[in-house]
Structure formats: C-alpha cells, structure tokens
Amino acid sequence: MGREKKQPAERIGLGGEIFRYLIFGVLTTVVSMGSNFGVLWGGKLLFGIEDTVSAAYFAVFTASKIISWVCAVLFAFFTNKKWVFRDKVAGGAGVMRQLLVFSGGRLITLGLDYVLNISFLWIMTALSLTFLEGLFGFSLESINELIAWLATQFFVVAANYFLSKWLVFRKK
C-alpha cells in the first residue's frame, strides 16, 4: 500500500510529450525569431534607426514583439494541440475556449519575454565591450539583441509548457 509506480509507457509518454514540445518549440522559435528580427532589423533599416535608446527604436522593438507573438502563438497552438498534447477537443466552441486560454497564458509570458528581453538588452548595452565593435563586420548592438533574445527564451519556454499542460490541454 505505498506509492504506485508508473508503468514504463506512462513515463515514456511524458518524455515523448516533452520531446515533442521541444521539437515544436524549436519550430515555434524559428517562426518567432524570423518574424521578430525581420520586423526589428527591417524597421531599423527602413526608418534609419541606429541606436537602441531612441523612441523610434522602442516603437519598432514593440511592433516586432507584437507581430512575432501573434505568429508564434497561432503556430504553437495548432502544433501543440495536434502533435504535442494530442488533444481530442473538437468543435468550434471547445477549440475557441482553448485558443483563448492558450492566448491568455501566452500574453502572460509575452510580458515576461518583453521585460526580460529589454532588461537583458539594456544590461548588455551598459556592459558592452566596445573594443569588440565591428570585429566580425557587424555591430555589437545586433549581437546583444540576439543574445538577450536567446537568454529570455529559456524562461519563456518553461513557463509556456507548464501553462499549456496545466491550463489548456490538461487531461480530464
């Protein structure tokens, strides 16, 4: 009369789920990263923005986050529903409820993403090693943007998994 051991298939199921989540998470990251940096770097080029402290940069940064979020959320919802959590909810009302809860959870992690990303960027800019500027033919500012974005993703991915598993695609 102690703890019941999980069957091997149940353990593999959770491991498989996490593996699938990570695979589709990488694909979601590609969608997010492509749309984020496409808008950010394209906007900087289009509007002639050369620094990370101006109001124009902040506006383009914000637009890139919003567009990236919408693209990534839609991609992630449908791939998580079908292939990661293998959810069986069908019908317009059930799926719409899931999409709304999923989007709500992703709004929370968007806030986390935004705050961590801009904070890491400001910290890295303040600590920048100016002697590295232009070393490989690109600005340290762009490298800082990429590093700050990647560091932020560790926190966002973990938060998104738990919100999806516990709130959106939970097994009844």
Cα dist from 36 to 10, 18, 30, 33, 138, whole Å: 37, 25, 10, 5, 19
Among 8-12, 19-23, 43-47, 89-93, the range scoring the smallest mean pLDDT is 8-12
pLDDT at residue 83, as a whole number: 93
Among 3-12, 16-25, 88-97, the range scoring the smallest mean pLDDT is 3-12
How far apart, in whole angstroms, are the C-alpha atoms of residue 138 and residue 167? 43
CB contact at 8 A, 114 and 65: yes
pLDDT at residue 10, as a whole number: 47
Among 1-5, 26-30, 39-43, 67-71, the range scoring the smallest mean pLDDT is 1-5
pTM: 0.69
How far apart, in whole angstroms, are the C-alpha atoms of residue 167 and residue 77? 13
Helix, strand, coil % (nearest 5) of the chain?
80, 0, 20
pLDDT at residue 129, as a whole number: 56
Q: What is the DSSP letter of 130?
A: G
pLDDT at residue 70, as a whole number: 94
Predicted confidence band of residue 52 (pLDDT cuts 50, 70, 90): confident
What confidence tens digit (pLDDT) does each residue in 64-115 have?
Answer: 989 998 999 999 999 999 999 999 999 999 999 999 999 999 999 989 988 9
- The number of beta carbons lying within 10 Å of the beta carbon of residue 81 is 20
Question: Quick one: average pLDDT of 135-150?
Answer: 74
How far apart, in whole angstroms, are the C-alpha atoms of residue 100 and residue 108? 12
Predicted confidence band of residue 14 (pLDDT cuts 50, 70, 90): confident
Cα dist from 110 to 18, 68, 70, 134, 136, whole Å: 21, 10, 10, 32, 32
How far apart, in whole angstroms, are the C-alpha atoms of residue 89 and residue 98? 9
Q: What is the DSSP letter of 66?
A: H
Indicate the residue type of 25.
Answer: G
